[in-house]
Structure 1
């Protein structure tokens, strides 16, 4: 099978994806009792050839959906159709991997300018003057 493209530089091998099908819960009448429409997808992140930084970020994003062995588990049972659930769970996997590839820039702390500090202090003095004007006059 052909590899599944995730981004321009990353693609995943379909052999790393394992899908199983079970019965969905919820409404659906007797049809639900006879069809395995829920999809359980397992993706072995630890053994995949994704870049190490993507694996680490994927583990952070997945949270409890990631097992200790490095297997990501996703489930879809929103539709009565197994085909729709299968497409949904695969798209969720690809979206999660795409999000893991985004590198977050670290914030560089900056100092406030002298003008902004002056504006802040002047605004505080102005608010103080307004509030002090609301007080009852003190008779000494």
Structure 2
């Protein structure tokens, strides 16, 4: 992993929540209760390692502002606590996706059988091409 460890989940102290009214259907509950959540996470002020911050700031995602703040809106649940938990889970998923590293590919060698098949195909192709010459009387 060339010196990069797995990133730990974000601590709740590093994010700020603002409660807003949810959009969409829901009747009186939606109109009077602020159950939706805006989560704000400042990438530069976080405790993430520098390489993780660079990757997050380089993301081409509408949730990451030019100032380096991730804004996530959660309003799917009817409960404020569930919306907060969903927003934190989505933030952790975004960070995990941005900092994930692919395993390096191990080069493989061709098998003996595949070498033989390749050489047989080359020989057959060569014979076909040799038959295309001029016909001698």
Q: Gapped runs of 5+ residues in structure 2?
A: 125-137
Larger radius of gyration: 2
Give the aligned partner of residue 31 of structure 1. 29
Corresponding position of 1:79: 77
Q: Counterpart in 1 of 2:63? A: 65
How much does 1:84 deviate? 1.0
Residue 97 of structure 1 deviates from its aligned partner by: 2.5
What is the aligned partner in structure 1 of residue 132 from structure 2? none
TM-score by length of 2: 0.66
Q: Please, what TM-score do these two structures have when normalized by structure 1?
A: 0.65
5+ unaligned residues in a row in structure 1: which ranges? 1-6, 126-140
Post-superposition CA distance 1:20-50 (Å, at most 9, x none): 1111111111111001111010100112121
Partner of 1:45: 43
Q: What is the CA–CA distance in structure 2 between the aligned matches of 1:11 and 1:29, rounded to whole Å?
A: 36
Residue aligning to 1:102: 100
Matched, 1:18 2:16: yes
The alpha-carbon deviation at position 119 of structure 1 amounts to: 3.7
Higher relative contact order (CA 8 A, sep 6+): 2
CA offset digits 1:66-115 (Å, max 9, x no partner): 11111111111001211111111112212323344433234356665564
- Counting helix residues as a fraction of each chain, which structure ranks higher? 1
Q: How many residues align?
A: 117
